[in-house]
Chains A and B, each alone.
Chain A
Amino acid sequence: MPGLLRVATAGSVDDGKSTLIGRLLHDSKAVLADQLQAVTSASRSRGYAETDLALLVDGLRAEREQGITIDVAYRYFATPRRSFVLADTPGHVQYTRNMVTGASTADVAVVLVDARTGLTEQSRRHSAIADLLGIRHVVLAVNKMDLVDYREDVFDEVVAQFAQVCDSSWCAIPISALRGDNVVSLSSQTPWYAGLPLLTHLEELALPEAPAPGGRFAVQLVIRPRTPEHRDFRGYGGRVAAGTLNVGDEVVVQPGGWQTTITAIDTYDGPKRSATTGQSVVVSIADDLDAGRGAMLSTGAPGTVTSAASATVCWMTDTPLEPGARYVVRHTTSESRAVVEAVDSRLNVSTFGSEPAESLALNDIGSIRLRFADPLVVDRYRDSRATGGFVLVEERSGATAGVGLVESLS
């Protein structure tokens, strides 16, 4: 059971994401008096009839002026049972890349849908992104139930639509973020609903284990202190990307492919017998190998060393993704160059089918083939989030142009 649950919201603009987060924070008593007072007085000076809880999260001037969310806002709160990091992501198509940013580190996505309109193209896009990114559990929050007289058949219809598009583990909750129905406590307006309120669900949720093909540890930094106490120390600083590594394990050091043994796993706080996903440690190995930043230490089935891959890409910049284009690819701790060999298809977010495409525009999701200048050590994204994901960076501007998920290896 993680002590920290990372949650991202998703959904169309005006579906009420910021209001829901404001409501969660407010009703779980995570909003402090000065914050509430600032929001109350801002609402009053804008002439609103009620306090607009969305102002708690829409922190940028332009967001408050337009009443929309432009960039991810991160909020933190703890109940007696769990700590939460909430990424409140924008709904506008224009800011889809910021939604992807918020979703990439999340364990759970809360997809908001307006009960009156059902699934829109943007809520389908967000569901697709949540699925793609391997979010381990989705909560469908059917919002604005107060505006449809809390009717069960309306809720059931949205649930049926969502069942067509979501393959993850998921559940559905009828809510009104504005009124607080089924957010922190169960609502008397929905006696037909047999589940938990949203917050309780998030507090009690047990996530399925993250997939791991084997132990994966990408070298970040070679640590060689050369101090009198540690004259001969040579360790590899890094974070376990997947699985578990133990002292005594046989490891393959890739891309070179050398075999060796883990002799120690150290931290400032003392040596450890093993280290598991997410832990930052210093690993020592038996042989003196040429393993610098970007090298991958694998236990179990090793990763694939490859100069080419097929990937699903979400494109995030105005310049379209086209065959022949070159980018810098950032994958684990390694960096190489990549050329786009082919664009194969684009996801149609209305039908969820794929259609032929020759390029991908801003916010498109599609399949491409890439070739790398140097071999990378990769896994398929569905087998390992941290070793199957990469970003493409524009060489000249340094901008992050797209995110890729390795589908198959060639």
Chain B
Amino acid sequence: MTLTVVDSGPIDRESALADLEDESIHILREVVATFDRPVLLFSGGKDSIVMLRLAEKAYWPGKIPFPVMHVDTGHNFSEVIEFRDRRVAELGVQLVVASVQESIDGGRVTEQPGQSRNPLQTVTLLDAIAEHRFTAVLGGARRDEEKARAKERVFSVRDEFGRWDPRNQRPELWDLYNGRHRAGEHVRVFPLSNWTELDVWGYIRREGIEVPDIYYAHRRDVVRRDGMLIAVTPFTPPFENEEVWSETVRYRTVGDATCTGAVRSDASTVDEVIDEVAASTLTERGATRADDRASEAAMEDRKREGYF
């Protein structure tokens, strides 16, 4: 029996971030080397912004060799859409917009009155993957987000119906990723699997990456709904009995405006955001996502159907 103990001193967060970056770049390069039609999902949110920076690095000095796709529910924060379009133009990548509104208009999905459009995204996403014949779909999902996501492989095969079978996932050894798939199947790839919310913010600070303003404290009109602060927007007008007031808030996640809550916050710089996230007693999704609260297995059930 050998016991090797030394005083490791304070944590080296920079070296942990460097490890994560090296691993993610490796995954991104594997995708381009082994798939003929990859695409990167880009919502304008912080995780997909970090993904774009990692992609810039992975193929540098070449350009990012695939298009990016936004599954647009039509209920987005305008600041995020402006950011999306500007970032895509700066990088010179092609943007594919898959529109939930078009899926609704085409009768592919039915909108439930008063319900978020978030679950409808799945059909739009799967239709767009089929239409463009994408074989690898890169996403910024992290395992720390949610307990069903914690079970994801880095390379995750989806059947021809886009379904995830959590009981029958491929073993994933070392950094040998198996992206073999049959016609009609595709592979979801998650280069940020091992990152946490704090790692993402640490990286945004280290790289000096710009993110949409709504991640920082600002004043806006809100209502309290399902225990969350929901912004008053054209898609989320106040109900008759709801009180509207002005609050200093920021967003921890950006998504469909109808189901993404804001948090009360004065954090207006990256450093202040990092301090706030480190001290928070709520998870990112617990604080701000209504659709994950539906049941103990809400995310798993949606993922089985092909949700990202």
**Does A49 touch B at the CB level, under 8 Å?**
no
Q: For the complex, is A74 an interface residue (Cβ under 8 Å from B)?
A: yes
Query: Do B147 and A59 touch across chains, with their CB atoms under 8 A apart?
Result: yes
Q: Mark B50-75, 1 if CB is under 8 A from A, else 0.
A: 00000011111111000000000000
Instruction: Contacts A57-B150, A59-B151, A237-B29 given; indicate if A83 touches B11 (C-beta within 8 A).
Output: yes
Q: Which of B4, B15, B62 has the most CB of A within 10 A?
A: B62
**Contact (Cβ within 8 A) A76 B144:** yes
- With contact pairs A223-B62, A393-B180 given, residues A73 and B150 touching in the complex (Cβ less than 8 Å): yes
- Whether A71 lies near B178 (C-beta < 8 A) is no
Contacts of B11 in A (CB 8 A): 3, 78-83
With both chains docked as a complex, state the minimum distance between the C-beta of A41 and any C-beta of chain B, in angstroms: 9
Partner of B194, one of A76, A196, A220, A278: A76
Say yes or no: is B170 at the interface (Cβ < 8 Å to chain A): yes
Q: Is the interface of A mostly helix, strand, loop or mixed?
A: mixed
Query: Which single member of A35, A57, A221 contacts B29 (CB below 8 Å)?
Result: A221
Proximity string of chain B (125-158) to chain A, C-beta cutoff 8 Å, 1 when within and 0 when not:
0000000000000000001101110110100010
A290 within 8 A of B: no
Q: Are A4 and B16 in contact (CB under 8 A)?
A: yes
Task: Give the Cβ gap from B3 to chain A, nearest Cβ, in Å.
Answer: 5
Within 8 A of A (CB), among B154-191: 157, 166-167, 169-176, 178, 180-182
B61 touches A3 (CB 8 A): no
Residues of B within 8 A of A331 (CB): 176
> With A and B bound together, what is the CA distance between A251 and B298 in angstroms?
53
Contacts of B56 in A (CB 8 A): 268
B110 within 8 A of A: no
Q: Is the CB of A74 within 8 A of B194?
A: yes
Q: Do the beta carbons of B147 and A208 come within 8 Å of each other?
A: no
Rounded to whole Å, the gap between the CB of B97 and the closest CB of chain A is: 27
Interface string of A253-269 (1 = CB under 8 A from B): 00000000000001111
Measured between beta carbons, the chain A residues less than 8 angstroms from B180 are: 328, 393, 398
Query: Contact string, B23-58, partner A, CB cutoff 8 A, digits 1/0?
Result: 101100110110000000000000000000000111
Chain B residues near A137 (CB-CB < 8 A): 4
**A98 at the B interface (CB under 8 A):** yes
B178 touches A239 (CB 8 A): no
Minimum CB distance partner of B14 in chain A: A3
Count of A-B contacts with CB under 8 A? 224
With an 8 A cutoff between CB atoms, is B253 at the interface?
no
Chain B residues whose CB sits within 8 angstroms of the CB of A35 once the complex forms: 283, 286
In the complex, residue of chain A having the shortest beta-carbon distance to the beta carbon of B22:
A280
| Known A83-B11, A169-B2, A205-B4; contact A278-B22, beta-carbon cutoff 8 A | yes
B2 touches A206 (CB 8 A): no
Chain A minimum-CB-distance residue to B197: A76
Q: Which residue of the partner chain B has the closest CB to A328? A: B180
Is A330 positioned at the interface, with any CB of B under 8 Å from its CB?
Answer: yes
**Across-interface contacts of A57 in B (CB, < 8 A):** 147, 150
Interface membership of B297, Cβ < 8 A: yes
Q: Is A204 interfacial (CB 8 A cutoff)?
A: yes
Q: How far is the CA of A163 from the CA of B2 in the complex (A)?
A: 12
Give min CB distance, B43 to chain A, whole Å.
Answer: 22
- Cβ A390 vs Cβ B176 within 8 A: yes
CA A81 – CA B26 in complex, angstroms? 27
A391 lies within 8 A of chain B by Cβ = yes
Set of chain A residues within 8 Å of B10, measured between Cβ atoms: 80-81
Chain A residues, Cβ within 8 Å of B282: 32-34
Cα A380 to Cα B181 in complex, Å, equals 30
The reply to whether B178 and A393 contact each other, CB–CB distance below 8 Å, is: yes
A279 to chain B, nearest CB (A): 5
Residues of chain A from 377 to 410 with CB closer than 8 A to chain B in the complex: 385-386, 389-391, 393, 398-400, 403
Interface centre among A73, A163, A385 (most CB of B within 10 A): A73
Q: Is A337 part of the contact surface with B, judged by Cβ < 8 Å? A: no
- For B62, the chain A residues whose CB sits under 8 A away are 223-225, 227, 230
- Complex contact A206–B1 (CB within 8 A): no
Residue in A59, A171, A233, A316 whose CB lies within 8 Å of B1: A171
Of the listed stretches A60-68, A118-126, A146-154, A181-189, chain B binds A60-68
Bound CA–CA A278/B182 (angstroms): 31
B5 at the interface (CB under 8 A from A): yes
Q: Does A345 contact B (CB under 8 A)?
A: no
Using a CB-CB cutoff of 8 Å, which residues 114-146 of chain A contact chain B? 137
Asked if residues B166 and A97 are in contact (CB atoms below 8 Å), the reply is no
Supposing A59-B300, A75-B150 touch, asked if A3 and B167 sit within 8 A by C-beta, the answer is no
A399 to B157, CA, bound (A): 10
Q: A32-B281, A70-B167, A278-B22 are in contact. List 10 more A-B contacts (CB 8 A).
A: A3-B18, A32-B282, A74-B193, A78-B13, A98-B169, A204-B6, A220-B26, A280-B22, A333-B33, A398-B181
A-B pairs with lowest CB-CB distance, top 10 = A59-B147, A34-B286, A398-B180, A3-B16, A3-B15, A280-B25, A225-B62, A268-B57, A3-B12, A268-B60
A-B contact pairs, 22 of them (CB 8 A): A1-B9, A2-B16, A3-B17, A71-B166, A78-B13, A80-B11, A82-B8, A101-B171, A101-B173, A104-B174, A203-B8, A207-B4, A229-B61, A239-B25, A280-B22, A282-B60, A389-B176, A391-B171, A391-B178, A398-B182, A400-B170, A400-B178
